[in-house]
């Protein structure tokens, strides 16, 4: 078997055995060295250096990430936030690689709820960073008034709950207006507002009509489309402000 597959299999075994996606290098080598030597048919060779090289390759393939303190994060499959206690660094790396998932947690399951909430907190932190701590539609920067607003709603797209392409920094007002379809974003981030909005809302809508693009991760057109479909967007009912 190729060393790449040998190491990856060993990482998966270790992960299952210990019930964690965080793999400690020392423990991993101690437990898996002999098995890897047999699988790679490389009797007599010390695999430690080879393992280090393969780890680099697996990192380039985005199957693992390096954490501090000689630990690896296994990212060969989506990582459910509620399954284990993860440090911020690990959650952020999982988000970065689009591997974090947030499940539906029963209200009695306090441990899972806490872990899931921690994942949500990290998504909020990364979202606000992505939008430079500001509402994408207006100038509100007060933290307590900002939301990490999902484009495709939490319940409507389970897979995209932790996808930064699906989250925009919005103030409470713009979050509510977006949620209720008073404005939509087109695939090119153009803002269109509902023609039938009341005069009061129209004032808010037409004052803030520019979408301020994020620094890094752009809204996903597939999510923007899902939002438009949900609010029954029709071109004739919306207008360029």
Site of interaction with Zn ion (CB under 5 A): 135, 137-138, 140, 171, 174
CB of residue 46 vs Zn ion: minimum separation in angstroms? Answer: 59
Nearer to Zn ion, 83 or 206 (CB): 206
Rank residues 67 and 204 by Cβ distance to Zn ion and give the closer one. Answer: 204
Q: How far is the CB of 212 from Zn ion (least distance, A)?
A: 10
Contact 95, 122 (CB under 8 A): yes
**C-alpha closest to that of 191 among 171, 201, 206, 169:** 206
Q: What is the smallest separation between the CB atom of 196 and Zn ion, expressed in angstroms?
A: 21
CA distances from residue 214 to 131, 192, 231 in whole angstroms, order as listed = 5, 19, 24
Strand partners, 183: 193
Query: In a 10 Å sphere around its CB, with 0-12 CB exposed, 13-18 middle and 19+ buried, how is residue 230 labelled?
Result: middle
Q: Is 40 helix (H, G, I), strand (E, B) or coil?
A: coil
- Of the two residues 152 and 177, which places its CB atom closer to Zn ion in the complex? 177
Nearest distance from C-beta of residue 140 to Zn ion, angstroms = 5
- Structural Rg of the chain based on CA atoms: 23
Residue with smaller CB distance to Zn ion, 171 or 185: 171
C-alpha closest to that of 174 among 124, 200, 208:
208
Are β-strands 100-101 and 79-80 bridged in parallel, bridged antiparallel, or unpaired?
parallel
For the CB of residue 176, give the shortest distance to Zn ion in the complex, in Å: 10
> Is 91 or 137 the residue whose CB approaches Zn ion more closely?
137
Work out how close the CB of 137 gets to Zn ion at its nearest, in angstroms, rounded to a whole number. Answer: 5
What is the number of alpha carbons within 13 Å of residue 195 lying toward its C-beta? 8
Q: Which is nearer to Zn ion, 21 or 147 (CB)?
A: 147
């Amino acid at each position: 078997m190729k060393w790449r597959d040998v190491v990856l299999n060993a990482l998966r075994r270790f992960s299952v055995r210990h019930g964690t996606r965080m793999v400690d290098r020392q423990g991993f080598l101690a437990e898996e060295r002999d098995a890897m030597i047999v699988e790679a048919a490389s009797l007599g060779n010390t695999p430690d250096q080879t393992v280090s090289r393969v780890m680099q390759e697996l990192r380039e393939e985005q199957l693992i990430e390096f954490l501090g303190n000689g630990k690896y994060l296994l990212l060969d499959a989506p990582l459910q936030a509620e399954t284990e206690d993860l440090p911020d660094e690990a959650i952020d790396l999982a988000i970065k690689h689009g591997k974090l998932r947030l499940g539906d947690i029963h209200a009695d399951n306090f441990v899972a709820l806490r872990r899931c909430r921690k994942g949500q907190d990290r998504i909020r932190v990364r979202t606000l960073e992505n939008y430079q701590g500001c509402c994408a539609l207006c100038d509100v920067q007060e933290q307590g008034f900002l939301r990490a607003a999902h484009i495709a709603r939490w319940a409507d797209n389970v897979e995209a709950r932790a996808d930064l392409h699906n989250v925009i920094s919005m103030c409470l007002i713009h979050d509510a207006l977006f949620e209720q379809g008073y404005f939509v974003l087109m695939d090119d981030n153009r803002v269109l507002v509902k023609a039938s909005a009341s005069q009061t809302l129209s004032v808010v809508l037409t004052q803030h009509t520019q979408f301020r693009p994020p620094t890094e991760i752009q809204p996903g057109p597939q999510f923007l489309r899902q939002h438009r479909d949900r609010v029954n967007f029709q071109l004739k009912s919306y207008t360029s402000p």
